[in-house]
Amino acid sequence: VSRDAALGVFDSGLGGLTVVRALREACPAEHIVYLGDNARVPYGTRSPATIVRYAQGCARALADRGVKAIVVACNTVSSVALEMLRAELDLPVSGVIAPGARAAAAVAGEAPVGVLGTAGTIASGAYRRALAALSSRTEIIGQAAPLLVSLAEEGWLDGDVPRLVVRRYLEPFFDASGAPRVGCVVLGCTHFPLFRELIAAELAARAGRPIPVVDSAVETARDIRAFLADRAMARDGATGRLDVLVTDMPRSFADVAGRFLGTPIEHVESIDL
């Protein structure tokens, strides 16, 4: 595959754009084809078998477009389907769990790591395994936070409703006396950085001091840049193109996506998997 080919990035919906944003900063010359499977969002409440099937559909659609590598910008898919995709595709495939775990291990110190994710990600134990590979001491407190996926897809990012939802989901990270039980909180779902400020503010208000919030997007993008450079697969030249594909509702997707990426998205193509 040519180094001018695009990177294929996918998620169940809007969340993976948090990774696209970091990729455009880390590797501005790369062309990116983003696929949001918003006809079938959320993935995080479904069984591993269904998630694997959806992930195969997304990855094949991107491979058919001639991408040079695939970035799974979804923690749920990275948790349950990464090995299968690697075995099945004749392309490099990378996920978001290992980079996020590495960032968490670096900031948590001796304290347990709090992970907010989808039900599928938390149930899979993927963060526990990824952290165990880095440190034998790190404990995890996982909390499924599925409502945040729906709120993000709706573009309902501030106000009382998201705040109360976040507050409720953060409860297990504090003990009965109100003291924090975690050294950091990982945003273990690519939709959650849309609530990053809110989550950080709620953690700080409750703990009386800031608690680091870790997002895997920047680490993931850094890994991809290093990987492309190592393999002589990086593109040089002018700013790359971003093509956006969705499986439903292109108009409303473009609206929320543009707000989030900070640049209007002129064209969103609707595809059928």
Residues that bind ligand DGL (CB under 6 A): 11-12, 15, 41-44, 74-76, 118, 121, 149, 189-191
Nearer to ligand DGL (CB atom), residue 118 or residue 220: 118
Q: Is 27 a catalytic residue?
A: no
C-alpha span between 216 and 210 (Å, rounded): 19
C-alpha span between 189 and 131 (Å, rounded): 16
Residue 72, both tokens: 């799974």
Task: State which residue has the least CB distance to ligand DGL.
Answer: 44
Nearer to ligand DGL (CB atom), residue 11 or residue 219: 11
Tell the smallest beta-carbon distance from residue 72 to ligand DGL (Å).
9
Let me know: does 31 contact 6? Beta carbons within 8 Å: yes
Residue 28: what are its φ and ψ, rounded to 5°?
-60, -25
Tell the smallest beta-carbon distance from residue 42 to ligand DGL (Å).
3
Tell the smallest beta-carbon distance from residue 186 to ligand DGL (Å).
11
Nearer to ligand DGL (CB atom), residue 79 or residue 235: 79
Q: Is 74 a catalytic residue?
A: yes
C-alpha span between 42 and 11 (Å, rounded): 10
- Candidates 253, 6, 257, 11; CA nearest to 270 is 253
Residue 240, both tokens: 């790359």
C-alpha span between 209 and 43 (Å, rounded): 34
Q: Pick the catalytic residue: 27, 58, 74, 184? A: 74
Q: Pick the catalytic residue: 27, 58, 184, 189? A: 189
Tell the smallest beta-carbon distance from residue 51 to ligand DGL (Å).
9
Nearer to ligand DGL (CB atom), residue 5 or residue 98: 98
Tell the smallest beta-carbon distance from residue 131 to ligand DGL (Å).
17
What residue spans of the chain are helical by DSSP H? 17-26, 48-64, 75-80, 82-88, 97-108, 119-124, 126-132, 147-154, 160-170, 196-207, 216-230, 250-261
Nearer to ligand DGL (CB atom), residue 8 or residue 44: 44
Which sequence positions are flagged as catalytic? 74, 189
